[in-house]
Amino acid sequence: MQQLIECVPNFSEGNDLGIIKQITGEIESVDSVKLLNVDPGKATNRTVVTFVGPPEAVLSAAFKAIKKAGELIDMRNHRGEHPRMGATDVCPLIPIANISMEDTAAYAIRLARQVGEQLGIPAYLYEEAQTRKERRNLSVIRAGEYESFFDKIKLPEWVPDFGPAEFDAKRGATVIGARDFLVAYNVNLNTTSVRRANAIAFDVREAGRTIKSGGKIITIPGSLKHVKGIGWYIEEYGFAQVSMNLTNIRETPLHVTFDEVCKKAEARGIRVTGSELVGLIPLDAMLEAGRYFLKKQMRSAGVSENELIDVAVKTLGLNELAPFEPKSRIIEYLLENEAEKKLSRMSLEDFADETASESPAPGGGSISAYIGSLGASLAAMVANLSSHKRGWDSRWEEFSGWAEKGQYFKQQLLNLVDKDTHAFNAIMKANSLPKSTPIEQETRSKAISLAVKGAIEVPISVMKYSLASMKVIKAMTELGSPSSVSDAGVAALCAKAAVQGAFLNVRINASALEDLDYKSKVIAEGGKMELDAIDIASEIDRIVMAKIDKSD
C-alpha cells in the first residue's frame, strides 16, 4: 500500500500572489504530488500551503519550494503579525498513510540536511525529528524571531542542526520537523453561552484549567491528552462551539474526543447537536470512528468503507452545518486517480460489456480477481448475517471480526482487478519499444522481462488473497448461520476459481520468461497454492453438503 506524507510549509509572503504562485508552481511540478490547499493571509503576510504525496516526491517538492521561496522573498523587507524567522518559516512533515512517525522524522532530517548543505540556509529540526529535548518546541526555536537571530545563531546552544552558523539576512532560517496530523475540530452545542462552552473546553483539553487553592494557583488537567481547546460563540450559526485542535489523533482519535465532549456537556446540562471538521482528515480516522460507533451498538463493523464513513458522519453530526462530502474532505480520496480504478468503479453491466468487447483487457486475470472479491464478499455477508441472528447476540463480536477480515480480502482483490489490466498494458507498451539497433533491442528485452514479471506478481497476489480468504469462508461454513451455508459454499467455489484462474495467468506469462530460476519459483509457488485451494474447497463442500442434507 502506498506511503503518504503531508507537508505544510509556511512561507513569509501573504500578499504578492505572483510570488506565491511561483512557489506553489515548484510543488506542482513534481509528479505524484498533489497540492491540496493554499491559504494566504494578508495581515500575517504568510501563506500556509498543504500538499501530499509519496515520501521521496514530497521531499523533492519541499526542497524546490524552499529554494524558490529563498530566491523570491526578502526577509529584510518582511512585516507581518505572525512570528517568523525565515522565507520558509517552518516546514513540517506529517505521516498520513502506511508510514511510521519514526520514518517520517528520518525524511525530515534528510530534508533539513539538504536545505542546510545545498542551499546554505540555517536549518533547525523540531518536534519528532529533534533529539534534543530543549529544541523540540517550535516557539522556543523561533523566540526572538528574525530580528534577534543575527545574535542568537552565534550562541553555542543555538548552532543550527544543518547549514552555516551565520544568519542569512535575505532568506533567514527555517525549521523542519515531523509531527502528527493536526485536526481542527469544532463540536456544536445547544447553548449561546461562551462561558459554558469554555467550561466544557477546559474539562476536556489537556491543559485543563487553573484555580486558586490555599493562596496558590494550581492546574487541573483536562481529560483528553493531545487536545487544545476553547469555547466560542459563532454569530453566523447562532450557537456556541467547543473549538479544538487534536494534535495526535492516533492516541486521542476523533470519536473519543466527540464522546468525551458529549459526556462533559451533558454533565453541565448541555446537549451536543453535531460537529464540524475544518480542513482535511485522513481516511483511517473516519473508518476508525465508524467501527467504534458500530461496536458501541454491538453491531458488526465488517461493512464496506462507504458504510463506515456514513456511520461516522451521521453519528458525529458532520452534516449539521453543511454537507460533508468525503471525496473532497478525506485526504486519500483527494489523491485518488480515477483512471487507476476504472474497472472496479464500473457497473456490473458495463464491466461485463467491457470484458466482452474486442479489447484484450480486462482478461482472465482481472476476472479472477473479481471472482475472488465476490467470494470474500459472500464470506463477509455470512458473518454479518450471523452477527445479527436472533439468539446469537453474545457472539456478535466474534462474527464482526470475521466480517472485517472478509471485507479486507474483498478490498485487496478489488484493487487487483485494475492492477492486472495495468500490468497487461505495461507488457503491450514494452513490446512497442523500438528494436532497430542492438542497444534498443537490449533495452526492449529488459523492459519486456520486467513487465512480464510485474504481470506475474499481480495474479500471484490474487492467488494469495483468495486462498487466505478461504479461511474466513471455512469458518463461516462451520460457525455461521445454517441458513446461509449455501452462500458460504458459493464463496468457496469463487475463491477456488480465482486461485485456479489466476494460476493460469501466472503460467502463460511465465512461459515467455528467459529467467528460468524466477519462472521455476513462481510456478512452484502457484502450484502449491492451487493444490491447497482445491483441498480446502473440497473440505468446505463436504461440510456444506452435510449441513444441507441435515436440513432436508
Active site residues: 82, 420
Query: Each residue of 146-178: b (16+ CB within 10 Å) or e?
Result: beebeebbeeeebebbbbbeebbeebbbbbbbb
Using DSSP's 3-state secondary structure scheme, residue 176 falls into strand
Which residues share a beta bridge with 51? 7, 35
**Residues in Cβ contact with 68 at an 8 Å cutoff, skipping those fewer than 6 apart:** 22, 23, 26
Rounded Cα–Cα distance for residues 138 and 148 (Å): 16
Q: Assess contact for 331 and 338: CB atoms under 8 A.
A: no
CA 322 vs CA 42, 254, 313: distances in Å: 27, 19, 12
Which residues share a beta bridge with 178? 93, 127
User: How far apart are the two ends of the chain, measured CA to CA in Å?
Assistant: 46
Using DSSP's 3-state secondary structure scheme, residue 275 falls into strand
Q: What is the DSSP string of 128-142?
A: TT---GGG--HHHHH
Q: Assess contact for 533 and 470: CB atoms under 8 A.
A: yes
Rounded Cα–Cα distance for residues 523 and 459 (Å): 12
**Residues in Cβ contact with 183 at an 8 Å cutoff, skipping those fewer than 6 apart:** 245, 246, 249, 254, 277, 279, 281, 285
Rounded Cα–Cα distance for residues 108 and 438 (Å): 44
Rounded Cα–Cα distance for residues 470 and 19 (Å): 57
Rounded Cα–Cα distance for residues 250 and 253 (Å): 6
Q: Assess contact for 162 and 112: CB atoms under 8 A.
A: yes
Cell numbers representing residue 81 in the block: 503579525
Cα torsion through 153, 157, 162, 168, rounded to 10:
0
Cis peptide before 326 (omega within 30 of 0): no
- DSSP strand pairing (123-127 vs 174-178): parallel
Q: 208: closest CA among 193, 219, 197?
A: 219
Which residues share a beta bridge with 49? 38
Cell numbers representing residue 357 in the block: 468487447
CA 487 vs CA 78, 382, 408, 430, 541: distances in Å: 69, 7, 18, 42, 11
Cα torsion through 84, 85, 86, 92, rounded to 10:
-70
